[in-house]
Amino acid sequence: MSKTAFALDKREWHPGFIPGAIVLIGTYDSAGNPNVAPKSWLQMVSFDPPILMFSGTKDGVTERNILDAGCFTVNFVQSAMALKVFRCIDKRGLERIEMLGITLAPGQEVSAPLVRECPAHLECRLVDTKPLGSGFVVFGELAHASAREELLSGDFLGRYRRLDQIVFLEDGVYATLEPKKLSEV
């Protein structure tokens, strides 16, 4: 089977080979104003202690808020929210929150907002940051995790279906997950 070279710039990948969970990162600025930012470069990096990372922008509002407050939330987006999330990229602060039509609640363990409409949340304390190329990687230790009750009971694959998680493929394109057991493939 022959293979063809393609661009190294991920923005030119069609199809996108590295999907990422679409989440809303919740923060407060130094004046206590809420902010939520769509992100899709998210990954666990340690089980013990539980640490995740996401990549953002070195001088971004969200990243500055995290540096100031020392914490953030990760709110998992469902497919019904996808179009609004894609359309809100150019908005900021309260304008973005209003456009999304979301309601915020305080975190249980950190001073960062949760998005009530999202089915699951992770609350994180800042561990470290690292500028890399054009990105800015944020590392957060999980301080609290919560999810709607229906995601934590019932059959295993049904839990994933009810989560209805979406992943970013490329600008304007996302996918839902259709979970399958390896034995079903």
The alpha carbons of the chain give a radius of gyration, in whole angstroms, of: 17
- Output the average pLDDT for the chain: 93
Residue 76 lies in a domain: yes
Q: Which pLDDT score is estimated for 50? A: 98
Residue 5 lies in a domain: no
What residues have CB less than 8 Å from 151, skipping those under 6 apart?
119, 120, 159, 162, 163
Residue 121 lies in a domain: yes
Kindly report which listed range (111-120, 143-152, 173-182) carries the lowest average pLDDT score. 173-182
Residue 10 lies in a domain: no
Kindly report, residue by residue over 98-142, the tens digit of the pLDDT.
999 999 999 999 999 999 999 999 999 999 999 999 899 999 999
The model's pTM is 0.93
Residue 161 lies in a domain: yes
Number of domains composing the chain: 1
Residue 11 lies in a domain: no
Kindly report, residue by residue over 61-104, the tens digit of the pLDDT.
999 999 999 999 999 999 999 999 988 888 888 999 999 999 99
CATH value at residue 142? 2.30.110.10
Assign 170 a pLDDT band (cuts: 50, 70, 90): confident
Residue 42 lies in a domain: yes
Residue 9 lies in a domain: no
| 159: containing domain | 18-184
Assign 182 a pLDDT band (cuts: 50, 70, 90): confident
CA-nearest of 73, 67, 63 to 123 is: 73
Assign 24 a pLDDT band (cuts: 50, 70, 90): very high
